[in-house]
Amino acid sequence: MIADYSEAAVCHVDDLTDGELKEVRVNDTDVLLARVDGQYFALHPKCSHYNGPLAKGLLNGHRLVCPWHNACFDVRNGYRLEAPALNGLPTHEVRIEGDQVFVRLTTNKESIENPLSAPDEANSETYVIIGSGGAGAFAAEGMREGGFTGKIVMLTESREAPYDRPNCSKDYLQGKAPDEWMSLRSDEFYKDYGIDVRTNQHVTSLNPATKQIGLASGETLDYDKALICPGGAPNSLPNLATNLMGVYMLRSLHDSQKLRELGQAGKRVVIIGSSFIGLEGAMSLRKLGSEVNVVGLEKVPFEKILGEKIGRVIQGWHEKEGIQFHLGRKIDRLEGNDHVTAVLLDNGERLPADFVLLGLGVKPKTDFLEGVSLEKDGGVKTDEYLQIATDLYAAGDVAHYPVADGTQRIEHWKVAGQQGHVAGLNMAGKEEPYRMVPFFWSNQQGKRINYIGHATKTDDIIYDGDPEEGDSFLALYVQDGQIKAAAGLKRDQDIIAIRELMQENKMPSVDAVRNGIKWINELLKS
């Protein structure tokens, strides 16, 4: 009888120690092998988010963390544990025979969905999600994963169902990512799981007392539970003629499409704001052939979050590609009649412009809320379960959530996705506190910088590797006598390990860190 499966011996039982990962081959198929507590597991070797090489990630107990964007999976069943991955990983059968470890291939799939409940017409409850960004997308699936079988309605101002917004400033803007890459899920997926995505919907009011949502169309929608995750509204330049034609934001898929068209025409662009999005936009438009000038209030890009040394290094990467900087400068005015023609700086310098891109950050989009107290920045305060009032939850850019020393609000894709997932689970009846250490990544001229933690101010920076000399470094940010954050280039495993230590409250003292960082992986194993 001919076997209808593929199986092969991949290693000896003692070849891997607990916590080790290794990519192996079973006939013509790559497989990731992981050992935890003396037991072997076999999974698909690429992250379901963007095919990051998981063998270069890190295993902490049963948690497998991707090196690129810190998606997290359970090696025992392949389930996705954390954003930004939506899907889990296929697993394969493992058996031990003598001193050999055998892997039997059990699937040809590259990803799997976490188990989700099907909608039940007998359940009359309605949960409403306001927003279709990362938080909204993960929340809808969190509700089904948590066992909710009622009606789910997602209201979004966008013309599209949830899509991969971070790519709007990167490969998609550069014309390297096709449209089909951008959707997070197919229309069939949302139909199968009873998730009613309503596009082009502007929410004008939400009243927690009456549990009613008002729409610009005049429709009123009743809810049993609701999640607000509308994201942020881009900041504009006060007292300047930003209503001129040729002034753009980079917040949506359509913004990216329009900017891509202009960039391909080799136009002159002035980018106002030297933020991560601003410089990712500068990078992408320059790659398209545009002449790019960047204006920023800061004397060094990213000085507040990454420090002056790393900021200057990043600025140098962009200058090498022909991007010009005008830093420590304010905008005096935009010139033009109907269409912008130039940007005049406060020092009298005039920058000709065929178009202008504003990259000035965002503010929480919460003006539709009634009877809900807002924070100074327009956000809303949640409890540890992301609840802000009875049957009302918040996630993503608008949420101030509790941490050990107060509250914080984070505008990162992974944070929004994971908050949405947790909020969705809790709306379905779970009681899962949100306690994830923040993480974000940025692509600056083809170099991915990963950042973990959150520091509101920096008292000192401890470096391992000189950012100005080598192509790899780790920076640890000290605030009030503690390491609050870390950034790294080509130090993926170290960043993951620091994140896991922060999650488990195992971070060592600043003095211990100054003696060297060889402690990272050892502490994680202890």
List the beta bridge partners of residue 294.
271, 325
Strands 225-228 and 126-130: parallel
| pLDDT confidence tier of residue 524, bands split at 50, 70 and 90 | low
Distance CA 6, CA 28 (A): 9
Distance CA 72, CA 66 (A): 6
Helices (H), 265-350: 276-288, 303-306, 308-320
In the predicted model, is pLDDT for residue 523 greater than 80?
Answer: no
Distance CA 298, CA 360 (A): 12
DSSP 163: B
List the beta bridge partners of residue 483.
478
pLDDT at 243: 78
Taking the CA atoms of 511, 516, 522 and 524 in sequence, report the sign of the dihedral they define: positive
Q: Supply the Cα-derived Rg of the chain in whole angstroms.
A: 24
In the predicted model, is pLDDT for residue 47 greater than 80?
Answer: yes
Closest to 184 measured CA to CA, from 155, 162, 206, 202: 162
In the predicted model, is pLDDT for residue 312 greater than 80?
Answer: yes
Q: Find all residues with CB under 8 Å of 80, minimum gap 6, and list them.
A: 48, 71, 72, 73, 86, 87, 88, 89, 114
Q: Which helix (H) or strand (E) holds 447?
A: strand 447-453
The structure tokens listed for 97 are 């025979």
In the predicted model, is pLDDT for residue 1 greater than 50?
Answer: no
DSSP for 192-226?
HTTEEEE-S--EEEEETTTTEEEETTS-EEE-SEE
Helices 413-427 & 134-145 angle (0-180, nearest 10): 30
SS3 state of residue 426: helix
Task: Answer whether 68's CB lies under 8 Å from 61's CB.
Answer: no
Distance CA 131, CA 109 (A): 31
Distance CA 9, CA 378 (A): 58
List the beta bridge partners of residue 233.
363
How does pLDDT run across 27-37, given as a tens digit for each residue?
999 999 999 99
pLDDT at 515: 82
- Exposed, middle or buried, 451 (CB in 10 Å: 0-12/13-18/19+)? buried
Strands 29-36 and 39-43: antiparallel
In the predicted model, is pLDDT for residue 227 greater than 70?
Answer: yes
- Exposed, middle or buried, 98 (CB in 10 Å: 0-12/13-18/19+)? exposed
In the predicted model, is pLDDT for residue 522 greater than 60?
Answer: yes
In the predicted model, is pLDDT for residue 2 greater than 70?
Answer: no
| pLDDT confidence tier of residue 519, bands split at 50, 70 and 90 | low
DSSP 362: E
Domains and CATH numbers, the chain: 7-104 (2.102.10.10), 126-233+364-427 (3.50.50.60), 247-360 (3.50.50.60), 446-525 (3.30.390.30)
In the predicted model, is pLDDT for residue 521 greater than 70?
Answer: no
The structure tokens listed for 301 are 């890009």
CA angle 127, 132, 135 (to 5 degrees): 80
Distance CA 30, CA 22 (A): 10
Q: What is the mean pLDDT of residues 360-376?
A: 96
pLDDT at 57: 97
Distance CA 70, CA 388 (A): 28
Q: What is the mean pLDDT of residues 473-499?
A: 96
Closest to 182 measured CA to CA, from 170, 196, 194, 192: 170
Task: Answer whether 449's CB lies under 8 Å from 457's CB.
Answer: no
How does pLDDT run across 127-158, given as a tens digit for each residue?
999 999 999 999 999 999 999 999 999 999 99
- First-to-last CA distance in the chain? 49
| pLDDT confidence tier of residue 108, bands split at 50, 70 and 90 | confident
Closest to 367 measured CA to CA, from 219, 233, 525, 484: 233
List Cα–Cα distances, 78 to 88, 436, 462, in angstroms: 5, 20, 36
Distance CA 504, CA 522 (A): 14
Residue reference for tokens 């990512």:
177
Distance CA 434, CA 58 (A): 22
Strands 460-464 and 473-479: antiparallel
Closest to 278 measured CA to CA, from 326, 239, 240, 246: 326
How does pLDDT run across 497-516, given as a tens digit for each residue?
999 999 999 999 999 888 87
Four-point Cα dihedral 422, 423, 426, 432, nearest 10: 40
How does pLDDT run across 425-479, given as a tens digit for each residue?
999 999 999 999 999 999 999 999 999 999 999 999 999 999 999 899 999 999 9
Q: What is the mean pLDDT of residues 191-208?
A: 98
Q: Find all residues with CB under 8 Å of 428, minimum gap 6, and list them.
A: 142, 143, 144, 145, 146, 147, 148
Strands 331-336 and 340-345: antiparallel
